[in-house]
Amino acid sequence: MENGEPIFNRRDLINKQDMNIVIVGHVDHGKSTVIGRLLADTNSLPEGKLEQVKEICRRNSKPFEYAFLLDALKDEQAQGITIDTARCFFQTEKRNYIIIDAPGHIEFLKNMITGAARAEAALLVIDASEGIQENSRRHGFMLSMLGIKQVCVLVNKMDLVGYGEKPFRRIERQYRRFLKKVDVEPVCFIPISAREGDNVANHSDKMSWYKGMNVLEVLDSFKSEELPEDKPFRMPVQDVYKFTRGGDNRRIIAGTIETGKISVGDEVIFYPSGKRTRIKSIEGFNRPPVTEIGAGWATGFTVTEQIYVKRGELMCKADELKPKVTGRMLVNLFWLGKNPLVKGKDYYLKLGTAKVSMRVEEIRNVIDASSLVSKKKEQVDRNEVAECILSLDRHIAFDLTADIANTSRFVIVDEYEISGGGIVISDLEDQTSWVRDKVLMRNYKWIGSEISAETRALKYGHGAALILITGEKQSPRKELGRALEKQLFDDGKLVYYLGMGSVMYGVDADLMDHELIVPSRQEHIRRLTEVAHIMLDAGMIFIISARELTAEDYNVICTGIPHEKITVIWVGEEKTTDIPVTIHISSIENIDECVRMIRKRINL
């Protein structure tokens, strides 16, 4: 015993298996008492803590409760001494257990989905005297949605019902019926009194009619979740690090491997961009070099071709199951926000490391998570589950929950707060699916240059950029584009201006001949985007002018060009577009002054 730490044998802690378990239950059904009792009965409390809390209760003429132990531990945590409030630890002869004590549902949902605390099993607590409450059902639904298969139901406070078998069996019967409807098969039901210690670490002689396992025996019977190395490789890209000190030119693509394994030399594809390359090395901090690595590791990779990838992309192996890529998806979600989830409002969706703006396109069905009553509604209220179609502002890569659950879970952010979460059931076609397939194939087949984008930027003194000048029919877009090109050229920049008309009678000549291909504005825009892609790959500042671009046009352009490389300038008194405009110029008195203002605003 040192510094008030729990009575753990350190060798055991290192050698034993770990398991994360979550404890959920309705308010006052005794969740904290169960945790306190587990800590006390397994000698997992800091030395003297139990006696200390009992003494405080005695001095305050207050009956001792095991739930007070958690408060005492939280106080210590607040002083930075011993234990995490969100996680408690105890051990049996077989395992080290980490209890995820999530007082708020939203925290639990967030931790589970983001992988901050992935529970392998759950204890669900129900008060024997109060019976099944709304939250008991909601928690059951949430465990089902998150795919926790090992669930044990603790019917607590059996002392309040005289340790009788009938009330226990009634709750067991009713709750089994509910869990069956949400596709959860509980491992067992245990009658306990956490306050009195019955059937937690012992077999209570007050309930001789119960012949099953006690709580600790059930926990030890749970199977540890295997790392999902047998599934297709998936690593959401967390960041790309560049090293330059001492001639170190490594570019390391970093993240945590969710599933599968990968080796040096394997071909990988990043989605949604479709960029491909091969693994050159596997990098790690303070660990020996390896040639193969698998699920659960936070790691980094260098690759053979210098490709531009960014946070939010999903790294996959080329010869394995491809992820889904789209901007529309059918989902099952659990809503816990203060305000209802409504159509037409902007939210953020976070899936893996991708974060995109989204709207609810359709609410197909709403289910009350406690009654399982399904109804048609125009909004999703707190504690309701819904099947919805979500429309994203750009494509992301993910998996369906039926294929790989880890990369199908998401959370929804409403006004800076995580307010809901769920799983993807199906990918749906969107307006730019036809372009995306072409861009994926282009990127897959693209033979990259030996000269990297960074090397070109260093040589030219600027990075590649696309400047879209759009606006009303009579606005001086072309004049502005050409003046901007001239000023940049005179300053030694690598720059080119192209009007939409030049594309239409050159690259699009076949489209203009109506007998060969039916003309389509979207196809004109797609081809213009492909021209821009080549120019940007060459490291150029490429200026395009086009009349009254729409959100549909912009989505096509963003499918082929990373949106962070695009600047949109709208020329005209009235802004009649719904695309994100960087600079709005209502009138042009002096075109050179106007160009100088643009250059200052976008730092060119």
Work out the angle between the directed axes of helices 433-445 and 551-560 (0-180°, nearest 10): 20
pLDDT in tens, 202-230: 999 999 999 999 999 999 999 987 778 89
Quote the pLDDT of residue 398: 96
CATH class of 324-430: mainly beta
Query: What average pLDDT does range 144-173 have in this prediction?
Result: 93
pLDDT in tens, 386-401: 999 999 988 899 999 8
pLDDT in tens, 317-343: 999 999 999 999 999 998 988 899 999
In the chain, what are the domain boundaries?
15-221, 234-317, 324-430, 442-601
Instruction: Name the token pair of 41.
Output: 């009965």
Instruction: Evaluate whether 324-430 and 442-601 have a shared fold.
Output: no
Residues 516-574 have pLDDT tens digits of 555 577 888 888 999 999 999 999 999 999 888 888 888 889 888 888 899 999 998 88
> Is there a contact between 406 and 295 (Cβ–Cβ < 8 Å)?
no
pLDDT of 33 above 70: yes
Note the pLDDT of residue 67.
76
* Helix (H), strand (E) at residue 122: strand 121-127
pTM of the complete model: 0.73
Hey, what CATH class is 15-221 in? alpha beta
Six-digit token string for 347: 């939210």
Residue 320 · residue 232 · CB < 8 Å: yes
CATH code matching the domain that covers 442-601, chosen among 3.40.50.10190, 3.30.300.180, 3.40.190.10, 3.40.50.300:
3.40.50.300
On whether the 234-317 domain is CATH 2.40.30.10, my answer is yes
Residue 1 has pLDDT above 50, yes or no: no
Distance CA 103, CA 85 (A): 10
HSE-CB at 504 with a 13 A cutoff on CA atoms is 13
Contact 458, 249 (CB under 8 A): no
